[in-house]
Amino acid sequence: MASSMLVKVTCLAMICLVLGIPLANAVITCPDTDITLTACLSYVAYPNPPPPQPCCDAVLDVTAQARTREDRQAVCSCLKGLMIGIPGLDLTALAALPKVCGANIGYEISPGMDCSKIN
């Protein structure tokens, strides 16, 4: 009985590993970034410093997930899309958010940023 359970657990672990391989190399997507950063929407719509801690936690989380050049470029594109696609955001507050939260993203956020130049 115990050996049958061990076989099932081992098979489940192997399936998870195999299914997780593509995810390990996946580029960050805008829906993922948008969902993570929803904690910041009220702050960038109506800035009242400091930003709430869940917002800074989200900024730091997205920054930590952007490990590769492709990830950083994808996040840049997502942020640019947010700036253009959501009217009423305080773009100055959005641009300052990484610095205020202590995240070093390596570029300044602006509607005219060239995400292809992000390293």
* CA 98 – CA 55 distance, rounded (Å): 10
Please give the pLDDT value at position 39. Answer: 93
- Domains of the chain, each with CATH number or no CATH: 27-117 (1.10.110.10)
* CA 35 – CA 85 distance, rounded (Å): 15
Please give the pLDDT value at position 26. Answer: 65
Largest CA distance in the chain: 63
Phi, psi of 70 (to 5 degrees): -65, -40
Please give the pLDDT value at position 59. Answer: 95
Q: Give mean pLDDT in consecutive 10-residue pieces for the chain, a chain of 119 residues.
A: 40 33 64 90 91 96 94 93 88 93 92 92
* CA 41 – CA 21 distance, rounded (Å): 32
